[in-house]
Amino acid sequence: MSEVDVFDVLREAVMTSLLVAGPVMAVGLVVGLLVSLFQALTQLQEASLAFVPKIIAVFVALVVFGPFMLTTLIGFTHNMADRIVALH
């Protein structure tokens, strides 16, 4: 396996990681921003208000984006298995 192949595998692994984690992280970021804005506007500094909506939103995002995430990871795994088989 050459250096180019190794960097190609690393690039594909990073891109797959971003594709899998990106939607859920974006939902958490947007909900956290909205909750922080709401707390700043209302001056309501309740600690549980910062966490509960984010936890619920991330759980819903995992349910919604779960099939996409699983399909992406399965495709990456098949691609890596094909590369391993091609080495021999």
Distance from C-alpha of 47 to C-alpha of 41, rounded to nearest angstrom: 15
DSSP 43: T
Query: Does position 7 have pLDDT exceeding 80, yes or no?
Result: yes
Mean pLDDT of 2-14: 92
User: Across all residues in the chain, what is the average pLDDT?
Assistant: 92
pTM for the full model? Answer: 0.81
